Amino acid sequence: MIDVLFLPMVALALFIGLLLLALSQDTQRRRIGHVSLSPREKAQRRMPAAGILAGCLLLLIWYEGGGFGTLLWIGLISAAALAVSLLLAWRPSFFSIGSRSFS
The range of the structural domain enclosing residue 45 comes to: 2-102
Q: Which of 47, 40, 39 is nearest to 20 (CA)?
A: 47
Structural domain total, the chain: 1
Q: At residue 68, what is the residue type?
A: F
Q: Chunked in runs of 10, what are the mean pLDDT values of the chain (103 residues)?
A: 85 93 76 73 87 96 94 96 89 63 51
Write down the pTM of the prediction. Answer: 0.83
What's the distance, Cα to Cα, between the start and end of the chain in Å?
37
* Cα Dmax for the chain: 44
